[in-house]
Amino acid sequence: MALLRKINQVLLFLLVLTLCGILYKKVHKTAVLKHEADDESESPEDMEEEIPVVICAAAGRMGATMAAINSIHSNTDANIVFYVVGLRNTLSRIRKWIEHSKLKEINFKIVEFNPVVLKGKIRPDSPRPELLQPLNFVRFYLPLLIHQHEKVIYLDDDVIVQGDIQELYDTTLALGHAAAFSDDCDLPSAQDNNRLVGLQNTYMGYLDYRKKTIKDLGISPSTCSFNPGVIVANMTEWKHQRITKQLEKWMQKNVEENLYSSSLGGGVATSPMLIVFHGKYSTINPLWHIRHLGDQGGQKAMDPLELQSLVADNCLKWF
Ligand SMILES: *[C@@H]1O[C@H](CO)[C@@H](O)[C@H](O)[C@H]1NC(C)=O
């Protein structure tokens, strides 16, 4: 009997010990978890906001794109994620261009643009066929390419950024505006004697005012146009206003009625944007966008850094 009682006591002791062990582990674990949770709740404050920059990389113009990316990257401390957009057959080349240069340290995603969405929306008889490059229309489809961000920057591949991109990103978009652009009339031109300048800073330079559909818009032909080569956009508002659908509607109308001006210097992507965003966009500080620096082609064989210094030499006046 005494033996049984002894065994019982030992068992009870062991049981208590085990319970204590379990309890200790539990408390300790929650403490550890809580600690980790604390760490996590701290980090979003510490981490700066990610700035998404969308830029296209067309075959034959990779050097320009890399120079643009490099110019952004080397002038900012901001936390940027580059969305480099290309057609399917160039995606691996884009990756090589980035990973085999000093740009390998950038944070980037390569995004495929499928030009099938443009089917039936582009006239084959444009006065400047090189502007029919499908990637010119990537800016129409921003919300389809970018999902995690509300505010997005889009840049043409022929830009060199000499300021801190953070300041451009901080451009305020008025409530109800899906995008900000710089007005053409504000733009300091690098070549004041460019013969096209006069024509190209009004709606008349982009739309054919002899067409009833255009006249019916009620937009004065002398309205200052804007340049969609640099865009700060609000994806929430863009989706809410169905901007992409509206742009596609005007592309289709152009196929049917040939609505764009035949002088069309600024590109086929500009005209529908001028219509859709008329009176509904915020403005970017004009210093952020200087035109007429030239789009000379022939840039493709050049090393991006060499190109950047070359182009930069031409743009010392920028800031
Ligand atoms: C984007 O638009 C939405 C809807 O109008 C608005 O609530 C939000 O504040 C805007 N965000 C920015 C960064 O402008």
Ligand 1 centroid, distance to 198 Cα (angstroms): 35
pLDDT of 42 = 42
- Which of residues 209 and 266 earns the better pLDDT score? 209
Cross-strand bridge partners of residue 111: 85
Summarised one tens digit per residue, pLDDT across range 255-291 is 999 898 876 555 678 999 999 999 999 999 877 765 5
Q: Give the residue from 147, 163, 157 showing the smallest Cα distance to 67.
A: 157
Summarised one tens digit per residue, pLDDT across range 92-144 is 999 999 999 989 999 999 999 999 999 888 887 666 665 568 999 999 999 99
Q: What is the pTM of this model?
A: 0.75
Q: At which residue do the structure tokens 């700066």 appear? A: 48
**Residue 111, SS3 per DSSP:** strand
CA 268: distance to chain centroid?
19
- 236 CB within 6 A, ligand 1: yes
- 170 CB within 6 A, ligand 1: no
Residue 50 backbone phi and psi in degrees, to 5: -80, 135
Q: What region does 288 belong to: left with phi over 0, alpha with psi -120 to 50, or beta?
A: alpha
From atom 11 of ligand 1, which residue's Cα is the shortest distance away? 234
- 18 CB within 6 A, ligand 1: no
Ligand 1 centroid, distance to 174 Cα (angstroms): 8
Distance CA 304, CA 185 (A): 31
From atom 13 of ligand 1, which residue's Cα is the shortest distance away? 151
Ligand 1 centroid, distance to 175 Cα (angstroms): 7
Ligand 1 centroid, distance to 249 Cα (angstroms): 25
Cross-strand bridge partners of residue 85: 56, 111
- 248 CB within 6 A, ligand 1: no
- 48 CB within 6 A, ligand 1: no
Ligand 1 centroid, distance to 177 Cα (angstroms): 8
Give mean pLDDT, residues 199-203.
78
Distance CA 282, CA 273 (A): 14
Q: Are 159 and 182 in contact (CB under 8 A)?
A: no
Query: Angle 62-73/304-314 helices, nearest 10 degrees?
Result: 70
**What are the distances in angstroms from CA 63 to CA 111, 292, 308?**
18, 19, 9
From atom 12 of ligand 1, which residue's Cα is the shortest distance away? 234
Distance CA 289, CA 80 (A): 20
Ligand 1 centroid, distance to 150 Cα (angstroms): 8
- 234 CB within 6 A, ligand 1: yes
Q: Kindly state the helix (H) or strand (E) to which residue 180 belongs, with its residue range.
A: strand 179-183
Summarised one tens digit per residue, pLDDT across range 13-55 is 666 666 655 666 665 554 444 444 444 444 444 567 899 999 9
- 150 CB within 6 A, ligand 1: yes
From atom 9 of ligand 1, which residue's Cα is the shortest distance away? 175
